[in-house]
């Protein structure tokens, strides 16, 4: 059975419903065994994912009709589900198929694709998480970046907030989660300082990460990124892989505020944007306000890899 035949009811639903583009991005979601317009993708207010942030997720992007490093995102998502003692109704192969079909139905050649498992809810409204019926959701919407085109060309202005990241022995940052109140507080601190985004600190007072991104510095031709209390991002790992390929030294280690402000170059990494330059931290200018040569080299190589079959997975569109 081909994609069009299998999903014809969903296609019909999507075609027949008006999507209010002022409120919902144009995209396709998968919930409860069916494909829906984003405007119809809703969860119960009793879902523990909503009530308690009891959920895990992962986000992979599509560029020019190809998933980038899909297997690594699936690895991390499935590991998070297992560590949170959740159960999925689908195996790895089926989840990959659902993600591909969400993108194919949406028609987006560049997309932001999310897979989610929430704790769900208990039929008896029990507070025992073992009695909750876990729920899988996926969606594909247009691709978006942490940094816009102008910011990518000139570099971002980042402020370091005094906000401390949730301790990893409380919420494991290796499991992607929606516990973002520390990150949101950091954002408001940054906006108050006239910056565009934020870095927050770990429990030892070192630089940790930002809202949805990791950070790297370059000093003397070598790279360093925080090791403690941060999400092991897929783009972060990709930087390690790219550095190994072109012979650059990179390590994960503590970074102080002085370290990052005296760096030769600074950049952030995220699935939503890739490798993005930083040219100002608080009131300190980095690389004389220009995108550094190592950052530029890694940015170019990163996007070249999107067409490499060893790094990407093609989508078959209807």
Q: What's the pLDDT at 130?
A: 95
Pseudo-torsion of CA 35, 39, 44, 48, nearest 10°? 80
DSSP string over 96-123: HHHHHHHHHHHT-SSEEEEEEEEEEE-T
Burial class (CB in 10 A: 0-12, 13-18, 19+), 84: middle
**Distant-in-sequence, close-in-space partners of 203: CB < 8 Å, separation ≥ 6:** 164, 165, 167, 229
**Which pTM does this prediction carry?**
0.91
DSSP run (H or E) holding 191: helix 181-192
Q: What's the pLDDT at 15?
A: 45
Cβ atoms of 298 and 239 closer than 8 Å: yes
Task: Give all domains of the chain, ordered by start, each with its CATH number.
Answer: 3-142 (3.30.470.10), 149-306 (3.20.10.10)
Task: Determine phi and psi for 150, rounding to 5 degrees.
Answer: -60, -45
SS3 232: coil
DSSP letter at 265?
E
Q: What's the pLDDT at 23?
A: 60
Cβ atoms of 210 and 183 closer than 8 Å: yes
How far is residue 141's CA from residue 158's CA, in Å, rounded to a whole number? 27
10-residue averages of pLDDT along the chain (318 residues):
40 43 79 95 95 97 98 98 97 98 97 98 92 97 95 97 96 95 98 98 98 98 97 98 98 98 98 98 97 98 98 96
Instruction: Output b/e per residue, 267-297; b: 16+ Cβ within 10 A.
Output: bbbbbbbbbbbbbbbbeeebbeeebbebbee
């Amino acid at each position: 059975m081909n994609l069009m035949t299998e999903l014809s009811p969903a296609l019909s639903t999507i075609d027949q419903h008006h999507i209010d583009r002022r409120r919902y991005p144009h995209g396709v979601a998968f919930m409860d065994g069916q494909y829906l317009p984003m405007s119809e993708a809703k969860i119960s207010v009793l879902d523990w994912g909503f009530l308690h942030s009891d959920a895990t997720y992962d986000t992979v992007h599509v560029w020019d009709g190809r998933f980038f490093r899909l297997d690594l995102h699936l690895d991390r998502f499935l590991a998070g589900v297992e560590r949170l003692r959740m159960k999925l109704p689908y195996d790895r192969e089926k989840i990959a198929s659902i993600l591909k079909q969400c993108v194919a139905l949406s028609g987006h050649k560049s997309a932001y694709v999310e897979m989610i498992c929430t704790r769900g809810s208990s039929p008896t409204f029990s507070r025992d998480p073992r009695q909750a019926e876990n729920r899988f959701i996926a969606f594909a919407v247009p691709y978006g970046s942490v940094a816009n085109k102008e910011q990518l060309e000139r570099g971002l202005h980042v402020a370091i907030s005094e906000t401390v990241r949730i301790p990893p022995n409380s919420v494991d940052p290796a499991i992607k989660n929606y516990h973002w109140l520390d990150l949101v507080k950091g954002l408001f601190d940054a906006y108050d300082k006239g910056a565009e985004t934020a870095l927050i600190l770990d429990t030892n007072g070192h630089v940790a990460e930002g809202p949805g991104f990791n950070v790297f510095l370059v000093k003397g031709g070598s790279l360093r990124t925080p090791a403690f209390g941060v999400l092991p991002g897929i783009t972060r790992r990709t930087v390690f892989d790219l550095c190994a390929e072109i012979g650059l030294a990179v390590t994960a280690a503590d970074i102080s505020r002085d370290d990052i402000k005296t760096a030769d170059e600074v950049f952030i990494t995220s699935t939503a944007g890739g490798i993005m330059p930083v040219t100002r931290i608080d009131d300190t200018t980095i690389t004389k306000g220009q995108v550094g040569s190592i950052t530029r080299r890694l940015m170019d190589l990163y996007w070249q890899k999107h067409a490499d079959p060893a790094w990407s997975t093609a989508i078959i569109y209807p």
